[in-house]
Every structure is written in structure tokens, then in C-alpha cells.
A and B are shown apart, each in its own frame.
Chain A
Amino acid sequence: MTAAPTLSVRIREIEPLGASLKRFALEPAHGGELPTPAPGAHILLTLRDGGRVMKNAYSLVSPAAARDRYEIIVRRVAQSRGGSAFLHQQAREGDVIDIGYPVNLFPLQAKARKHLLIGGGIGITPLLSHLHLLKARGLKFEMHQLCAPEEAGVFEALLAPYGEAGEILVHGTGRARFDLAGILARQPLGTHVYTCGPRTLMEAVATTASALGWPAGKIHKESFGENSGGLPFKAMLARSGIEVEVGETQSLLEAVEAAGIDAPCLCRGGACGECKVSVLEGEVEHRDDFLSAEEKASQGAIMLCVSRARGARLVLDL
């Protein structure tokens, strides 16, 4: 359970950044100031579309020092489960929505001698808040942003305030032309790498860095989940005594929430561990970054937000 209460914010401004990207500025609905978020933090938005309630997590891209507003950038995804489509099509300036307090699972490391940031697509967002701090404190960094060719201009504009040439590079030419191993191999001692983007990119960063001798403690990933859906299945909630149907494009957490169960959650991306629930029966297809390999193999628990059933049915201690 997220213990923190929610904050009420008003959408002050909606700014289109590209074909499928919009920046939202949120201000306190009742005046005052918002809590100071740490660089790398995200917030959970609760969106209400008629009777339907959607919860989406977005990284803050505004500077931590700016307490009059929070800014997020939202990509309209083709197979939206509702949240991003709602924000793109229905949200209007002046609307009031509820957000959770900022939570940070992706902090900058104080002991790092250099910070290497690798973003893929919309994974740029938490890195933008890192850049504010790195630039403000004059810390050593290097940023690589991978993206589709048509979006290179958008990302270059977002990154323009933070770097001189050489410190920040936008790669609009695809993964094949991106020399990940070369970049990781030439980093000085004391470098920490931070990556956010598609799971395949983050895994490539982690495995390539490990193979080059980077210790696990210097590799940081921010995952916002593999919410690509999957086969439908049924989840029996043993304690509540109800059975929920999980649809193809729906997550287990969303299905549980739709059934009126107030399930624990925080990041909704398989990273924080908050939504861990014991599995009593059935096999889990694990998609999170929280459980260890042994825990995954033992099939004793599931992360509701991203993982699914491998078969037709799961029985959960919920």
C-alpha cells in the first residue's frame, strides 16, 4: 500500500512536442508549493474517465528546485491501455487530477566520478531531471539518446539546454550503428551508468557493462514495465474470494483494481517491489526487475504490475 496521501494538481499547460509526445505542466490545485522531488523521481497519476480509473506512472522532467510545477512528458502509445490515450485526447488545460507523492527508484549516485546516461525513446524522461542537476552542479557526464530518425529533432531540442557538443549525443540511426560496447569500455573508473528505455536496450546495457567488468552496483536501470500484455487469464484472489479476468491488453494489477481491490503498488513498472503478492497456485511469467533469479524460479511470488500467468489461472494470496 502506498502510504502517502495524494496531491491535487491542475493541468496548467499542455505542449505538443512531436507527433506522439506531449509535455504536461501540473501546478498545485489549491496554491502553495509541491514537495521537492529528487532527480530521477516519478509520480503516479490517477486518471478518471467516467467510471474507469487508470493509474499511470511518469517520470518528472522538471528541475527538482521548481516547486511551483511538475512537468511530465507523455508518449501516446499505439496499444495504449488507456492512460496515455486519455492524456493525449481528453485531458484539457485547467483539469484537476490526483497524483501521488514523488517516489525515486532511480537516484543519481553521490559517489560517482562520472555519470553516463543512456536513454531510448521516451526513456529520456528521468534522465532529463538528472541532467538538470548534473549541469547545475557542474558534474561530469555523458549522455546518449537513441531514437527513431524522425524524432531526433525533438530529442535534440529537449537536450539542447544541457550540454556542449560531445557531452550529449542523439543517435537517430538505430541500435546497429550505436557502439554501446565501445562507449562502455572507455569510461573512466568511478563511472556509473543509468539507462531507461525499452527493455532490450536496458538489458543490452546491463549485460555489455557486466561483460566489460562493471560491478552491478554501478549499473542502474529505470524500468517502466513490459506492459505489452499477453494471453488472457484468470486470477483467483484467495483472501478476497473473488476471481478476476485479466484481458489481453490489461495488466493483472489493473484487473485487480477494476474489481475494486485496493492492491499495493508504487512504480507500476516492476522495479520497486511494492506490489509483490504470494502465489498459491499456478505458474508465473515473470517480467519484473525486482525478484531475484532464485525467487522467480521458485514461483512463490508475483509482481502484479507487470507479470502474468503462464497458464490459464493463478491463485493469489490477496
Chain B
Amino acid sequence: MTDQGIKSRPRYQPLEIDPAGRHHLLVVPSEDVPSDAVAEGFAPSAFEVWTVVRKSALPPSAITEEAAGTVRAFRSPAHLFSALEERLARETMGLRLYAVGPEDFLWDVYGVGEKAGLSPQEMRFTHSGTKARRIFCVHCRAVTEKVTTSIVTCSGCGASLFVRDHFSRRLSAFMGVQVDAEAPGDVPAAEELYA
């Protein structure tokens, strides 16, 4: 059940710089870059790093400084995303965008990058932290966050959803499909799979 053999499931590599880039922006949803997610020889000083501290009182950071080696902290992921949209809108060709974090964060970053015109060749993602999934209900289109089990009750329509490996980069979510559509009420026990 942990590998359903579905090809849309993204695969990730340890974080490594793309030497073809001219400027490198790394975003993480945590206070530090997770050390277990980086490739050998990773040098944080080559990146401009944006972090999320999840505190309302932010330590002072030089927001005008946009150079390799600088770190800028944000109070929440939403705060980071709005700044990222604004930043990418005035960036020039040559930028590489990197993200390290849980899967929903990575593909939210992808969505912001794609909207700004970045191609997959200009973005690199590394999974780190929780394996909890964001589930998109294919029946009512509601999104259920932080799902760790094989079966989940949809937050929108209440259906018992089977959590598939089928991943949508556009929606940044895994698909959930009603598990008892054929035999109503026949719902298997939920297993804890995505902690």
C-alpha cells in the first residue's frame, strides 16, 4: 500500500545547487535548512535563503538585501508566499528557485514559480519532514490537510476517501477517491501510513 506504482508520484533528490543558475533562492517552511535533506558539499552561502519562523515578533532582517548568503525570515508560509510572488514578478532570467520541506509546501512553491514563468528546469525540490498528505477529493473538490492514514473522511462531503499515490502538481495534492462507491458502507479500516 505504501507504493501504489503510480508514476505521477514525485521523486526527490538531496538539495544541490544548479551551477547553470545565476542567482539561487532557497525557501524553507522552517527556521533552518534541514541538514538531512542536503547533498554532500552543500554550501548555504551560495543561496539567498528565506525561512519561516512561525512567530509574530520577527527578528530584524535586511529585507532589501537580495544576495547569496543572506537570510530573510517570515512569520508564516502565507507571508513567505506573498513576498515570493512579488519577488518573482520583478526577477530576471537566470534565477533558480529551490524548496525544502513537506510535499504540500514544495508544490505550493512550484505553483508560485510556474505562475511567474519558471519552468521545471529552473526549480528544484527536496522533500523533508512530515509525509502527511494534502488530499483533494475528486468528488467535491474539497481539500483535506495533514492526512496520515490510508482512508480519510473528506472535510467537504464526508465521503470515505481512499488516499491514492496519484499526485497533482497543479493542485499540490494527492487524489482521494470514495472507497465505498461500489459497496456503500464497506469501508476498510484506516492504516497509519503517512506520518
Contacts and interface: CB of A to CB of B under 8 A. Distances in A.
Interface of A: 111-114, 184-191, 209-210, 212-218
A184 B119 contact: no
A185 B95 CA distance: 11
Contacts of B121: 215-217
Interface string B120-159: 0110000000000000000000000000000000000000
B40 interface: no
Contacts of B122: 215
Given A212-B94, A213-B22, A218-B93, 14 more contacts: A111-B117, A112-B117, A185-B94, A188-B89, A188-B90, A188-B92, A189-B88, A189-B91, A189-B92, A209-B93, A212-B22, A215-B119, A215-B121, A216-B121
Interface in B73-121: 88-96, 116-119, 121
Contacts, number: 56
Interface in B1-29: 20-23
Contacts of B93: 184-185, 187-189, 191, 209, 212-214, 218
A90 to B, nearest CB: 46
A140 to B, nearest CB: 11
Which of A213, A217, A218 has most B Cβ within 10 Å?
A213
Contacts of A189: 88, 91-93, 95, 116-118
B91 A188 contact: yes
A187 B21 CA distance: 14
A190 B92 contact: no
Contacts of B117: 111-114, 188-191
A214 B119 CA distance: 11
Chain B binding surface SS class? loop
A185 B92 contact: yes
Interface residues of B, number: 19
A114 B90 CA distance: 13
Contacts of A210: 20
A304 B164 CA distance: 50
Nearest to A188: B92
Nearest to A209: B93
A192 to B, nearest CB: 9
Nearest to B117: A190
A213 B119 contact: no
A177 B23 CA distance: 27
A142 to B, nearest CB: 12
Contact of A190 (B21, B23, B94, B118): B118
A209 B117 CA distance: 16
Nearest to B94: A213
A213 to B, nearest CB: 3
Contacts of A113: 116-117
Nearest to A215: B121
Contacts of A214: 93-94
Nearest to B24: A213
26 contacts: A113-B116, A113-B117, A114-B117, A185-B92, A185-B94, A186-B92, A188-B91, A188-B117, A189-B91, A189-B92, A189-B93, A189-B117, A190-B118, A191-B93, A210-B20, A212-B22, A212-B94, A213-B20, A213-B22, A213-B23, A213-B93, A213-B94, A215-B122, A217-B121, A218-B93, A218-B119
Nearest to A109: B119
Nearest to B87: A189
A111 B93 CA distance: 15
Which 8 residue pairs are nearest across A and B when measured between Cβ atoms? A190-B117, A213-B94, A213-B22, A113-B117, A215-B121, A187-B93, A189-B117, A189-B91
A133 to B, nearest CB: 18
Nearest to A113: B117
A130 B119 CA distance: 21
A108 B122 CA distance: 19
Which of B20, B93, B95, B116 has most A Cβ within 10 Å?
B93
A189 B121 CA distance: 13
A293 B22 CA distance: 25
B20 A215 contact: yes
B89 to A, nearest CB: 8
Given A213-B21, A213-B22, A111 B92 contact: no
